[in-house]
Amino acid sequence: MDYQAVLEEVAAQVKPQIGRGRVAQYIPALASVDADRFGIALADVDGHVTGVGDWERPFSVQSISKAFSLALVLADDGEKLWRRVGREPSGNPFNSLVQLEYENGIPRNPFINAGALVVTDRLQTLTGDASTTMLDFLRAESGNPDLAFDQEVAISESAHGDRNAAVAHFMASYGNLHNPVPTVLEHYFWQCSIEMSCRDLALAGGFLARHGLRADGSRLLSQSEAKRVNAIMLTCGTYDAAGDFAYRVGLPGKSGVGGGIVAVVPGRCTLCVWSPGLDARGNSVAGVAALDHFTTLTGWSVF
């Protein structure tokens, strides 16, 4: 298949969608991003990558980082994590506190903010430096040693992170955080602030298309674990729009309010699309449309 031609066709079809939606406003450092940007990249299981548009322009990964923190914890800790976080879709906004009270401080899944804080807490316990561990992993898998945190974004999130702090303190009151709340929040914000391009992210997520194998051929996850991460991405990776994403795209995906979405075609490739204009649920308008067009053109889906 001529991936370049497919991606160019996708970009042409979604052009009317680019710029629609609204960039993330609650993080001031993201509010000034140009909503008219668009890029898409595809990395096959052999590490060959192609792209169109702004596919090599770095952007803030935000919640896409949650897929990588989950994989790193599962690789080191196995099934123990699931005693502290569930695997069910939330049906509520990603930063909601409502379900936590009903469910005694156990987050519904690892991709809402509460669940991601528990995962970060565990990664911090396992490694002693959760954010740097993730950055080193992403540098290795993307082949880009220049990946870095965006200090402005991290500081901006910290300064406006009252709701995340409330969620963290609430879970700590139930004993579901083992490190000090300020430490967990700091590493969580730094993870979300990492800047990567579509190229970087498509390559970095390749282990999910290779059934758990890293770029160097070593095994990060078992085939079963990789399947499970992909399953949670499908059911929970786009917040309370996961059902619509599965209906339209039919692939495991993880979005972030920076406008990026990583999607996986197991056994074939990993995609990353970026366009900063978001819908009401925090997902890229043009990004979802692009992945919809991609699966329609190729016929590739997990269904």
**Catalytically annotated residues:** 63, 66, 188, 239, 257
3-state secondary structure of 196: strand
Q: Name the token pair of 93.
A: 């906004």
Q: How far apart are CA 167 and CA 96, in angstroms?
A: 8
Say if CB 45 and CB 205 are below 8 A apart.
Answer: no
Contact residues for 184 (Cβ-Cβ < 8 A; gap 6+): 117, 120, 121, 124, 168, 177
DSSP 8-state code for residue 88 = S
Query: How far out from the chain centre does Cα 287 lie?
Result: 13
**What distance in Å separates the CA atoms of residue 20 and residue 83, rounded to the nearest whole number?**
40
Given a contact cutoff of 8 angstroms between Cβ atoms, the answer to whether 184 and 117 are in contact is yes
